[in-house]
């Protein structure tokens, strides 16, 4: 017989528990959503500034590794050429020694005393014997040359092998620094993309730099179409450079205002910080080292900001990873960071370490 009992209704206690559980789930969901809000413009700026500073540090390390690689490649090439020439000289010495040995063998191996007794022309024999003695002395000299050349070649080959190992290590470091720079810039770009175009421009510090992020690395971003565009020029005061070369370097850098910052770039259409200063001084006939840490030792250091003159190098941050040109009245002309252009900026925006007056 079928059961006609009514289904059991949930108890008041069970309903209460289920309701409380659902309410708790909704509350947790709301709490979770509020715990992960979009970062504010201030937060983004702080993080982006930090990432760009770290990227510039890595950029200067990249520049140093690249410079070292180029020097090592040149040294390795010269050593390899030297070894090849030395081997050629050694082969010639060996060939000459072989020819002398063959001549001796063909002259016969009869005892010289017996040859004298049997000779019908003692005078002729003595003349030949004298030639043979001279040949032996020459042969001994050739052997000494061969031994010396072999020692030299061993040393040169060992040096070349060491340089090649150093080159391989430098290439590896170069790749690591490149990946580090690209990673920092990608992270900064992602953060900037959470902002509006106007906010991005404000964070980057340029009204027309909204959304720009360095995608090209050392081989990209060479469009110099914005170089020399209209910029608001700050009051640079009336101080004069201490030398014609310093003035020429500053003028050269001023002609590149508006050119984009590109890490690893040395001009003429895009620059990183030390790329701009080295390019500017090159236009004045002065060769500066490639990286900011080395440029810090390129002249006389000036620790008093009040003693700086236009055209002096100005070094920033404790590890000296940023450099620009003093423009006057507390302003620096520099290539600031990825996403910006060559521009003037108050020196107070960065931790100044010292100036360098290039001799």
* Active centre residues (catalytic): 273, 322, 334
In angstroms, the CA 85 to CA 73 distance is 18
Strand, helix or coil for residue 300? strand
Strand runs labelled E in the chain: 299-302, 313-316, 322-328, 331-334, 343-346, 352-358
For residues 274 and 292, the answer to whether their CB atoms sit within 8 Å is yes
In angstroms, the CA 201 to CA 204 distance is 5
In angstroms, the CA 292 to CA 296 distance is 6
Strand order in the sheet with 343-346: 299-302, 352-358, 313-316, 322-328, 331-334, 343-346
**In angstroms, how far is CA 53 from the centroid of its own chain?**
16
Residue 267: its H or E element: none
Q: Using only C-alpha atoms, what is the Rg of the chain?
A: 38
Token match 């540090």: residue? 57
In angstroms, the CA 249 to CA 272 distance is 16
List phi, psi (to 5°) of 12.
Answer: -60, -35
In angstroms, the CA 276 to CA 249 distance is 10
**In angstroms, how far is CA 173 from the centroid of its own chain?**
9
């Amino acid at each position: 017989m079928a059961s006609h009992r009514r289904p059991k209704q949930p108890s008041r206690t069970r309903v209460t528990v289920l309701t409380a559980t659902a309410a708790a789930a909704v509350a947790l969901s709301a709490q979770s959503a509020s715990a992960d809000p979009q970062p504010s413009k201030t937060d983004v700026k702080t993080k982006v500034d930090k990432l760009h500073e770290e990227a510039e540090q890595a950029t200067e390390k990249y520049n140093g590794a690249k410079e070292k690689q180029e020097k090592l490649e040149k040294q390795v090439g010269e050593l390899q050429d030297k070894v090849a020439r030395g081997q050629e000289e050694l082969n010639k010495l060996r060939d000459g020694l072989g020819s002398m040995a063959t001549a001796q063998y063909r002259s016969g191996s009869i005892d010289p005393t017996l040859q004298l007794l049997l000779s019908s022309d003692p005078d002729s024999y003595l003349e030949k014997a004298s030639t043979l003695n001279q040949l032996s002395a020459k042969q001994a000299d050739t052997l000494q040359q061969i031994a010396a050349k072999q020692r030299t070649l061993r040393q040169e080959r060992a040096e070349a092998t060491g340089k090649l190992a150093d080159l391989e290590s430098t290439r590896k470091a170069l790749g690591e620094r490149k990946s580090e720079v690209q990673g920092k810039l990608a992270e900064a770009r992602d953060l900037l993309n959470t902002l509006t175009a106007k906010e991005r421009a404000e964070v980057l510090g340029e009204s027309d730099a909204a959304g720009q992020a360095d995608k090209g690395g050392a081989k990209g971003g060479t469009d110099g179409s914005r170089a020399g565009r209209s910029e608001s020029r700050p009051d640079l005061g009336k101080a004069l450079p201490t030398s014609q070369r310093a003035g020429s370097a500053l003028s050269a850098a001023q002609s590149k205002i508006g050119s984009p910052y590109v890490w690893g770039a040395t001009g003429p259409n895009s620059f990183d910080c030390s790329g701009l200063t080295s390019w500017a001084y090159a236009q004045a006939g002065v060769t500066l080292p490639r990286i900011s840490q080395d440029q810090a030792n390129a002249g006389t250091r000036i620790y008093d900001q009040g003693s700086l003159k236009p055209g002096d190098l100005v070094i920033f941050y404790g590890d000296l990873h940023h450099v620009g040109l003093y423009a006057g009245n507390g302003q620096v002309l520099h290539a600031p960071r990825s996403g910006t252009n060559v521009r003037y900026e108050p020196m107070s925006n960065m931790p100044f370490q010292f100036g360098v007056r290039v001799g």
